[in-house]
Structure 1
Amino acid sequence: MERPLTVLRVSLHHPTPGSATFAYVPPQLEHDTSPLLVGRGPDAHLRLQLPRLSRQHLSLEPYLEKGGARLAFSLKALSRKGSVWVNGLTLRFLEQVPLRAVNRVAFSGIQMVVRIEGGTSLEAFVCCFHLSPSPLIYRLHAEETDERESVPQEQPPPGSGQ
């Protein structure tokens, strides 16, 4: 009897309309328990076409918590030239943070929300990708910039309630 896979529901947004940023994003990707690489390189499992993005920018890393019966995940920053913002924390090269049930991530102008729906399989997981035409994050609680250039964060429009 097969065990249900953990599902990562990943919503992605980039502010450039009609860009080719998400040209290589599949609707769904089943993956073993090795790190899932995100970047612009040919070896990235989730390829995003942005010149400021590193070939391997970050990874989603499944692991089994001590005494746990389900996969847990962490996010690890792999870029030497840019940072990754996760749930209010700014990660630099090789820093990582455990993920919660719902996670807000920003890097190189991309906004990403990762929702984890736990399954019981310890051998694989599946990512379901959704491309959002609307911004996913309105207020960053930590600075999300690339080290080479500082980009001021936009404030939400007045009356948006955010």
Structure 2
Amino acid sequence: MASVNGDNDVDTEQTLTCLQMRMYHPHQEDRRIFSAIDLCKTHEIKAEEVVMFGRDVNSCKFKLLHNKVSRMQFALQFFKPLNSSTTSFEIKNLSKKTKLYVDGWELNYLNKADLPPKCMIRFGEFQMLIEIEAGESEDKFAVYCEVSRFSLVQEIGHPVMLAIPENGPLNYADPLPSSIPPTPPPVENDENDI
């Protein structure tokens, strides 16, 4: 005999908006860089939380273990724009020494911008391709991280950026054109060191 109350007690569950992040660093064979992030796992986060990325183990939910990453590199915040029924995300650069690029737009320290539905984030030698999968919930959102085996700049069709060595640019006879400004070479970014 089937239970009469079984279906009436189940809450309808709303889907979560999900930030799908694919990350790449040219030296990621050093497995340490992304080792503090639970990869290929959905992280549910309360809507009011600010999600920090950086090197600081106490402040950052997503830790990037590389000496060129600032203690607090950038923050993502879930929000609902005024007079809108949809939710969105904004990104804020928290690094005093490293510029952050969102689809080629430069964000200096404390600058912030809304994230488009699909975008490329770059700082130092890090590349992160973010795609927002819309959901219904206003109480929580999700972040899903994975590492790409290949440069994401190549994958999305932008010309490959030539690295600038510390001793100056190389002299190529035929430099590649670029629609994205080059990321400045990374520097040690611990704001407490003076």
Q: Is the 8 A contact 1:29 1:128 kept in 2?
A: yes
**Matching of residues 63-142 of structure 1 within 5 Å:** 63-138=79-154, 139=159, 141-142=180-181
Aligned to 2:54: 39
Determine whether 1:16 maps to 2:27.
yes
Say which is worse superposed, 79-88 or 61-70, in terms of deviation. Answer: 61-70
Following TM superposition, by how much is the alpha carbon of 1:38 offset from its aligned partner in structure 2, in angstroms?
A: 0.4
TM-score normalised according to structure 2 size: 0.72
Determine whether 1:29 maps to 2:40.
no
Q: Is the 8 A contact 1:83 1:146 kept in 2?
A: no
Which of 62, 69, 83 is 1:53 aligned to? 69
Alignment partners' CA distance in 2, 1:82 and 1:130: 23
**Unmatched tracts of structure 2, length 5 or more:** 1-11, 160-178, 189-194
Aligned-residue RMSD, C-alpha: 1.6
Q: Once the two structures are superposed, what CA deviation does each residue of 1:8-63 show, in whole Å capped at 9, x if it has no partner?
A: 11000011142110001113211112211000111201101010111110011111
Following TM superposition, by how much is the alpha carbon of 1:71 offset from its aligned partner in structure 2, in angstroms?
A: 1.7
The structure carrying a bigger strand percent of its residues is: 1
Following TM superposition, by how much is the alpha carbon of 1:148 offset from its aligned partner in structure 2, in angstroms?
A: 4.6
**Unmatched tracts of structure 1, length 5 or more:** 150-162
Q: Once the two structures are superposed, what CA deviation does each residue of 1:127-159 show, in whole Å capped at 9, x if it has no partner?
A: 11111110001446123225759xxxxxxxxxx
Structure with max Cα Rg: 2
Q: Once the two structures are superposed, what CA deviation does each residue of 1:78-132 show, in whole Å capped at 9, x if it has no partner?
A: 0011111111111110001111110101112111000001101111111111111
The amino acid that maps onto 1:30 is E
**What percent identity do the matched residue pairs reach?**
23
The amino acid that maps onto 1:77 is N
TM-score normalised according to structure 1 size: 0.86
The amino acid that maps onto 2:184 is T
Q: How many residues align?
A: 149
Q: Is the 8 A contact 2:100 2:108 kept in 1?
A: yes
